[in-house]
Amino acid sequence: MALAMIDETHDPARTSWVPGADAHADFPIQNLPLGVFSREGEDPRGGIAIGNNILDLAALALSGLLEGEAMAAASAAAAPALNAMLALGAGPRQALRRRVSALLATGAPEREQVEPLLVPMAEATMHLPAHVSDYTDFYVGIHHATNIGSLFRPDNPLLPNYKHVPIGYHGRASTIRPSSVPVIRPQGQTKAPDADAPSFGPVKRLDYELELGVWLAAGNDLGTPVPIARASDLVAGITLLNDWSARDVQAWEYQPLGPFLAKNFLTTVSPWIVTMEALAPFRRPQPSRPEGDPQPLPYLWDETDQREGALSLDLEVFLSSAAMREKGLAPMRLSHGPASAMYWTIAQMVAHHASNGCQMQTGDLLGSGTISGPEEGSQGSLMEITRAGKQPVDLPTGETRTFLEDGDELSLTGHFHAENAVSIGFGECRGVVAPARI
């Protein structure tokens, strides 16, 4: 498994001449995530986040400041989606990262040439970073799986297959949107436990799910599995992902085939891909499996992945009601926990997905499934926090919440931390709930 190595781009002593690119921002010079942006009247194109600005890759490709693989990557990123650039693989992506890092570093002699290529984020509209070829959502957060299972199967929270196989289901690529797109309350068919028959209307149990999204840079031929030792080579980077969920629809439709309309009305992602190269300082050993848990089958086991397949990442969720915003109150933190609560690694997700010969493609997006920690206050959904609506959350305005109401804003954040490394983040992943369109 060829994992990205730590190099000069991760140097904690390296600073940038770009305003806002300091060590306390999501986008210091050690991050340099990839995204797609546009300004009013202009076509979308690729960019790199630095501080409060975006480096325009289309303009950079025309600047004469690049050559070789870095030039190839920037030229491919001059499109409305990054698929062509991602498909070039890790080499060109890394070459562009190293060259951009040098151009943006304090003291760079090319500053005067690069400065006009920066676009303030305040003037930009963000788009999906890549055309989503296909979308699959996994279920690798074991504490979430246990919490949800305990609500419905207290004597048997985890089904027998959970610790043997990374569970997942196919989602809907057409409803994936970047941060800030409104969450229109879906309608659906539901049936209350005490009702004689189902009814149709706006859902009452609208929920969020705190997840990571995994962007694929490359795929495999139909019928050809991906060995786990090569699985990480297919991954371009990760993003935050919110799998909005209609719990009342889910309860009625879930059996016998699993998630459908309860899950496919909207999935929100943070618009920046934090690349595998940027993640090198934050790799950690995968937590040891509890004694008695089964050893994964050989196609799901790789020693390098076990040593470096987890990430030192803190995740948080914040809620702000319309009344809170009117009163100028800060968003309320609903949960906080580590991404190490994932039972399966990203490489195991990819390897299992392709193990039957399923064709993976550039631009495929994989969701991790809800990430919850073992402690109180680290749950990744309101379904868990409120015990399926039985224990409401108190807001600072005196309001309460069991599930999301119209006007609520839900925000996910994530920050990578490691000793002798500058922390990096994803940027925003948020959505405001709007009334159903009846």
92 lies in some domain: yes
253/155: higher pLDDT: 253
State mean pLDDT over 295-301.
97
The residue from 127, 158, 179 where one domain ends is 127
What tokens does 179 get?
Answer: 């941060």
Choice among 2-11, 61-70, 412-421 with the minimum mean pLDDT: 2-11
The answer to whether residue 44 scores a pLDDT higher than 90 is yes
The residue from 104, 127, 150 where one domain ends is 127
pLDDT at residue 341 in the model: 84
Q: Domain check: are 90 and 159 in the same one?
A: no
Query: What mean pLDDT, rounded, does the chain reach?
Result: 96
369 lies in some domain: yes
DSSP 195: -
- Count up the domains in the chain and report the number: 2
Q: Domain check: are 35 and 120 in the same one?
A: yes
Q: Is 144 a catalytic residue?
A: yes
pLDDT at residue 129 in the model: 98
pLDDT at residue 2 in the model: 61
User: pLDDT digit string (tens) for 69-87?
Assistant: 999 999 999 999 999 999 9
334 lies in some domain: yes
Q: Domain check: are 77 and 160 in the same one?
A: no
Residues 6+ away with beta carbon under 8 Å from 419: none
pLDDT at residue 50 in the model: 98
Q: Domain check: are 240 and 116 in the same one?
A: no
Q: What is the CATH number of the domain that holds 91?
A: 2.30.30.230
User: pLDDT digit string (tens) for 224-233?
Assistant: 999 999 999 9
Angle at the Cα of 180 from the Cα atoms of 347 and 234, rounded to 5 degrees: 20
155 lies in some domain: yes
3 lies in some domain: no
State mean pLDDT over 128-134.
97
pLDDT at residue 93 in the model: 97
Contact criterion met (CB below 8 Å) for 157 and 150: yes
230 lies in some domain: yes
Contact criterion met (CB below 8 Å) for 234 and 360: yes
Q: What is the CATH number of the domain that holds 416?
A: 3.90.850.10
User: pLDDT digit string (tens) for 163-193?
Assistant: 999 999 999 999 999 999 999 999 999 998 8
Q: Domain residues for 415?
A: 135-434
pLDDT at residue 22 in the model: 82
Q: Domain check: are 90 and 141 in the same one?
A: no
Choice among 118-122, 299-303, 337-341, 379-383 with the minimum mean pLDDT: 337-341
pLDDT at residue 175 in the model: 98
| Active-site residue (options: 127, 131, 143, 144) | 144
158 lies in some domain: yes
pLDDT at residue 1 in the model: 53
DSSP 27-90: S-TTT--EEEEE-TTS--EEEEEETTEEEEHHHHHTTT---HHHHHHHHHTTSSSSHHHHHT-H
1 lies in some domain: no
State mean pLDDT over 338-365.
96
Q: Domain check: are 234 and 282 in the same one?
A: yes
The answer to whether residue 307 scores a pLDDT higher than 90 is yes
Q: Domain check: are 391 and 348 in the same one?
A: yes
Contact criterion met (CB below 8 Å) for 131 and 180: no
Q: Domain check: are 245 and 353 in the same one?
A: yes
The residue from 64, 95, 127 where one domain ends is 127
SS3 content of the chain, % helix, strand, coil (to 5): 25, 25, 50
Q: Domain check: are 30 and 147 in the same one?
A: no
Q: Domain check: are 88 and 153 in the same one?
A: no
